[in-house]
Chains A and B, each alone.
Chain A
Amino acid sequence: MKTETIEALRALAKKLGLTGYSKLRKDALLKLIANQERKAGAKSATKSRYASARTVTKQKKPRRTPGKTAGATPAKQPPVATVTPAPQNAAEAEQRVESAKYAFALPGAQEPTYAADLSEDIDRLPVIREPLLCLLPQKPGVLHGYWVLPAASLDAERSVRLRLATYVGDRLAILGEHPVPSERGHWYFHVEEGVEFGAVYLQLGRYRPDGEFVSIIERGVARIPNLYASTHTDRRWWVSDAQFRTMYRRAGGLERGKQLGWADSASSPGGPLAWPGNISSQR
């Protein structure tokens, strides 16, 4: 900012809503602006205001003003250049670039509307043939179940339940349970970390008065995706633990104690190698 001219600094002071700056010397003006920006809060916000003020100043020199080159009709609204926040990691950066394929305007712009084609009422979606029960893994620790049932299957007591279950040896272990209040709906099941799961089943049924669960429909089978590296090595393709760890780390993986996990989980709000089952799945 010290390299700016006194005129540019006065324009910035005006932009910041300051008064009494017109007779100040450059160093006093710098101090006044700095104080005001500190008061205004975050450093990033200050930078942003400084940038826009600088643009305003530069617009006095048409040749250097983007979007206001020689002969241009004055813009009805000032041109907006979006400075999008830097993505947190490679996966987010990739997602941003992939979504740029579908960008037609600056973020937040209104989409054009087109008249309905062929007189089709596309908002009236087809009736799904019931019963339908499905289980889909979303990520390690989270499974998505949905159901579509005949209205008659729901009794007045609303005793129908959805259960997520797995077999541990010969024993059926219940991992989650959810009431079924209406004929159709969905639910994200969160599964705790630390259990060796095989296949996971979704059961729909009701409890008898004696407490026993009677299954009406049982569907699955989903497997919970693996977040961690295997601990097994192949005899023919043996790799030392130290060497594998080195390759794993250089390939973007993370370590937590003896466990090796994949790097992208580091971007989750739970921190490095947080079990995603503990994090909201509706995002």
Chain B
Amino acid sequence: MEPKGYFALVLHAHLPFVRHPEHARFLEEDWFFEALTETYLPLLDVFEGLARDGVHFRVTLSLTPPLLSMMTDPLLQQRYLNYLDERLEALAGEQRRTAGDTNYHPVVLFYTELFTRLRKRFVEQDRMDVSQSFRRLMEAGHLEIITCGATHGYFPLLAVNEESIYAQLSMAVRTHERILGRKPRGIWLPECGYKPGVDRIMKEFGIEFFILDSHGLLNAEPRPRYGVHRPIRTPGGPAAFARDYESSKQVWSAEEGYPGDHLYREFYRDAGFDVHQPHIEKLRHAGIATFTGLKYHRITGKTTWKEPYHPGWARDRAAEHAGHFLFNRQQQVQWLTSFLDRPPVILAPYDAELFGHWWFEGPQWIDFLLRKMAYDQSEVKAITPAEYIDWFGDLQPASPPECSWGAGGYHEVWLNGANDWIYPYLHDAAERMSALVQRFPDAQGMQRWALDQAARELLLAQSSDWAFIMKTGTSVEYAVRRQKTHIHRFDRLATMAESGDYDEGYLREVAARDSPFPDMDYRIFQTRPWV
């Protein structure tokens, strides 16, 4: 029986490129290790389990170029093993500390089993490179992996220099193809930041679809016939899908959202602050207590009082929530098909790191949801945007407005009093890089090396994460430092290329640190695709 409507789960997986070989341990590298432990590896477990059991499922996943670069980096792979080993050693101490404690000892054993299992799969199954495990799921047809900007540059504010948009897309498509073996059909625009005209550039790269926040379609010109429940055809050619507000709200809403359930794991309560014993204090960075990932409590309530975490109860609640979510999508599809003459699609995009890192039980919720969708009903079927436009390609032409999915819906998260100082430097550097490409269209030797590294530095400086962090106030010093470092390094390298006076030692040291995109070609900074 044909389904009445379709459900597209879209997960946006991204972290900025953080790699510091100049330090033996580096706090911000933990962002990646925590996401591997709590999100990427658990999601792989879920998807592989579904595939093994023959469950029909489709998930769209954006793996951004910085994230793919970190997943394939040998130094970070080895450091992740160290990260797991440090925690397993700490957990051995925790087992001794909690022996006989019926509340906390089971939680410690739960983490010991989890970290042991993840280490085994990371070494034996993933061969230290999780990108290839995602690739296998893509090749089997379960996942649609899409790309993003090369360093998650925020397009609407970089578009002053069109070369920057081409460079972000050229390096993204190159990296996607190099690591995953095929060109991306779709893109997750960084922060869903859209500006009219970007659609035309995406078309030049063979991008067939992208995703906007709800108002990106709702406020399109002319009015979209199907609201957010079918994509539109943009003037440049690619299809634009939009977020379904109702399904987002069910996960995000402060009142109705699932992740706040009292049985789920509490994010902010961590052994790094609760336990003062040498085996936990060894996990500190520069003597400062930080999150360890060992979180023993459930949310419990709105007060500071927290009860011990019970994985079994939380799992049961995740199953209930998955059933509730699916029931609501069935109701939604029934309502939509009562007046729409084409099958609607409900597109639910989320930050991948919501599932696991923030909402620890999120991957289990996805597992239950996709199993229930496959077996418990026939009205809603999982689909990818690419499949949808292949099957139902008669799309309404319309022009989306400038927009993003950030708070406020436009650009103020990335352009405000906390971060507006960065744009003169970014725009000036892009103009300078484009001029260098025109001046030296076929650089060789040292000049080529300096120009390629300058292009890397500029891409890293364009990462929207630094502006976001400056605004939201977490790890601000690090973000400011990274922003200034890449601007500084770009300036020195561009000056070398312009003057012909090279400092080879400095160039070598910088290249060893900022090492994404081994296939860099500085000529990406021109107004045509360079793939």
Query: Which A residues are within 8 Å of any B CB, using their own CB?
Result: 47-48, 50-52, 54-55, 58, 63-64, 66-67, 69-76, 79-84, 86-95, 97-107, 109-114, 117-118, 120-126, 128-129, 132, 134, 136-140, 142, 144, 146, 148, 184, 186, 223, 225-234, 236-239, 243-244, 247-248, 250-253, 260, 262-265, 267-268, 276, 281-283
Minimum C-beta distance from A68 to chain B (A): 8
Instruction: Convert B270-294 into 0s and 1s, putting 1 for each residue whose CB lies closer than 8 angstroms to a CB of A.
Output: 0011111100000001101111000
Residues on the A chain within 8 Å of B246, using CB: 250-252
Please state if A282 and B97 are interface contacts (CB–CB under 8 Å).
no
28 contacts across the A-B interface (CB closer than 8 A): A52-B304, A55-B305, A66-B274, A66-B297, A66-B306, A67-B273, A70-B104, A73-B277, A86-B254, A90-B249, A91-B405, A93-B254, A97-B354, A97-B358, A98-B468, A102-B465, A102-B479, A103-B474, A104-B28, A104-B31, A112-B288, A125-B425, A126-B491, A238-B225, A239-B224, A247-B228, A248-B218, A262-B214
Please state if A104 and B30 are interface contacts (CB–CB under 8 Å).
yes
Please state if A134 and B160 are interface contacts (CB–CB under 8 Å).
yes
Residues on the B chain within 8 Å of A47, using CB: 302-303
Interface membership of B15, Cβ < 8 A: yes
Selected contact of A101 from candidates B156, B218, B357, B397, CB within 8 Å? B357
**Among B70-78, B116-124, B414-422, which stretch is in contact with chain A?**
B414-422
Minimum C-beta distance from A123 to chain B (A): 7
Selected contact of B286 from candidates A70, A103, A112, A146, CB within 8 Å? A112
Selected contact of B104 from candidates A69, A98, A140, A253, CB within 8 Å? A69
Minimum C-beta distance from A246 to chain B (A): 9
Please state if B275 and A95 are interface contacts (CB–CB under 8 Å).
no
- The complex places the Cα of A174 from the Cα of B506 at a distance, in Å, of 50
**What would 18 more interface pairs be, CB under 8 Å, given A67-B275, A101-B357, A239-B224?**
A64-B103, A66-B297, A66-B308, A69-B101, A70-B99, A73-B277, A81-B297, A89-B254, A102-B31, A103-B291, A112-B288, A136-B411, A229-B218, A237-B396, A262-B214, A262-B215, A264-B408, A276-B410
Residues on the A chain within 8 Å of B510, using CB: 118
Residues on the B chain within 8 Å of A52, using CB: 304
Residues on the A chain within 8 Å of B127, using CB: none
Please state if B402 and A252 are interface contacts (CB–CB under 8 Å).
no
Selected contact of A98 from candidates B96, B254, B351, CB within 8 Å? B351
Interface membership of B82, Cβ < 8 A: no
Interface membership of B52, Cβ < 8 A: no
- The complex places the Cα of A58 from the Cα of B222 at a distance, in Å, of 62
Interface membership of B484, Cβ < 8 A: yes
- The complex places the Cα of A69 from the Cα of B484 at a distance, in Å, of 45
Interface membership of B23, Cβ < 8 A: yes
Interface membership of B148, Cβ < 8 A: no
Minimum C-beta distance from B485 to chain A (A): 5
Please state if B425 and A226 are interface contacts (CB–CB under 8 Å).
no
- The complex places the Cα of A268 from the Cα of B267 at a distance, in Å, of 28
Selected contact of A66 from candidates B221, B269, B351, CB within 8 Å? B269
Residues on the B chain within 8 Å of A86, using CB: 254, 260
Instruction: Convert B395-431 into 0s and 1s, putting 1 for each residue whose CB lies closer than 8 angstroms to a CB of A.
Output: 0111001110111111111011100100111011000
Residues on the A chain within 8 Å of B468, using CB: 98-99
- The complex places the Cα of A198 from the Cα of B467 at a distance, in Å, of 29
Residues on the B chain within 8 Å of A228, using CB: 219
Interface majority SS (helix, strand, loop, mixed), chain B: loop
Please state if A251 and B277 are interface contacts (CB–CB under 8 Å).
no
Which of A110, A111, A121, A123 has the most chain B CB atoms inside 10 A of its CB? Answer: A111
Please state if B268 and A106 are interface contacts (CB–CB under 8 Å).
yes
- The complex places the Cα of A158 from the Cα of B99 at a distance, in Å, of 76
- The complex places the Cα of A48 from the Cα of B305 at a distance, in Å, of 10
Please state if B277 and A72 are interface contacts (CB–CB under 8 Å).
yes
Please state if B424 and A93 are interface contacts (CB–CB under 8 Å).
no
Chain A residue, CB-CB nearest to B253:
A90
- The complex places the Cα of A264 from the Cα of B239 at a distance, in Å, of 24
Residues on the A chain within 8 Å of B305, using CB: 51, 54-55, 58, 66, 81
Selected contact of B411 from candidates A105, A114, A139, CB within 8 Å? A139
Please state if B417 and A139 are interface contacts (CB–CB under 8 Å).
no
Please state if A144 and B303 are interface contacts (CB–CB under 8 Å).
no
Question: Contacts A134-B160, A282-B417; is A94 near B424 (CB within 8 Å)?
Answer: no
Query: Which B residues are within 8 Å of any A CB, using their own CB?
Result: 15, 22-23, 26-28, 30-31, 35, 96-104, 156-157, 160, 196, 214-215, 218-229, 244-246, 248-249, 252-254, 257, 260, 266-269, 272-277, 285-286, 288-291, 296-297, 302-308, 339, 351, 353-354, 357-358, 396-398, 401-403, 405-413, 415-417, 420, 423-425, 427-428, 432, 465, 468-469, 472-479, 481, 484-485, 487-489, 491, 506, 509-510, 513
Please state if B275 and A72 are interface contacts (CB–CB under 8 Å).
yes
Nearest 5 CB-CB pairs, A to B?
A67-B274, A51-B303, A247-B227, A252-B245, A262-B215
Residues on the A chain within 8 Å of B425, using CB: 125-126, 128
- The complex places the Cα of A238 from the Cα of B297 at a distance, in Å, of 54
- The complex places the Cα of A227 from the Cα of B411 at a distance, in Å, of 13
- The complex places the Cα of A14 from the Cα of B35 at a distance, in Å, of 44
Question: Contacts A70-B99, A252-B214; is A102 near B222 (CB within 8 Å)?
Answer: no
Chain A residue, CB-CB nearest to B399:
A230
Minimum C-beta distance from A12 to chain B (A): 13
Question: Contacts A51-B305, A126-B425, A238-B225; is A251 near B214 (CB within 8 Å)?
Answer: yes
Please state if A248 and B417 are interface contacts (CB–CB under 8 Å).
no
Please state if A139 and B30 are interface contacts (CB–CB under 8 Å).
no
Please state if A71 and B416 are interface contacts (CB–CB under 8 Å).
no
Residues on the A chain within 8 Å of B487, using CB: 122, 125-126
Residues on the A chain within 8 Å of B28, using CB: 102, 104
Selected contact of A136 from candidates B26, B27, B160, B403, CB within 8 Å? B160
Minimum C-beta distance from B40 to chain A (A): 12
Please state if B415 and A95 are interface contacts (CB–CB under 8 Å).
no
- The complex places the Cα of A114 from the Cα of B276 at a distance, in Å, of 24
- The complex places the Cα of A67 from the Cα of B100 at a distance, in Å, of 15
Please state if B474 and A51 are interface contacts (CB–CB under 8 Å).
no
Please state if A91 and B302 are interface contacts (CB–CB under 8 Å).
no
Please state if A99 and B469 are interface contacts (CB–CB under 8 Å).
yes
Question: Contacts A71-B98, A93-B252; is A100 near B274 (CB within 8 Å)?
Answer: no
Please state if A81 and B275 are interface contacts (CB–CB under 8 Å).
no
Please state if A75 and B276 are interface contacts (CB–CB under 8 Å).
yes
Residues on the B chain within 8 Å of A138, using CB: 410-412, 415-416
Residues on the A chain within 8 Å of B272, using CB: 105
Question: Contacts A104-B27, A123-B484, A251-B218; is A234 near B424 (CB within 8 Å)?
Answer: no
Please state if B223 and A232 are interface contacts (CB–CB under 8 Å).
yes
Residues on the A chain within 8 Å of B289, using CB: 105, 109
Please state if A51 and B408 are interface contacts (CB–CB under 8 Å).
no
Please state if A125 and B97 are interface contacts (CB–CB under 8 Å).
no
Please state if B412 and A283 are interface contacts (CB–CB under 8 Å).
yes
Minimum C-beta distance from B211 to chain A (A): 14
Please state if A100 and B267 are interface contacts (CB–CB under 8 Å).
yes
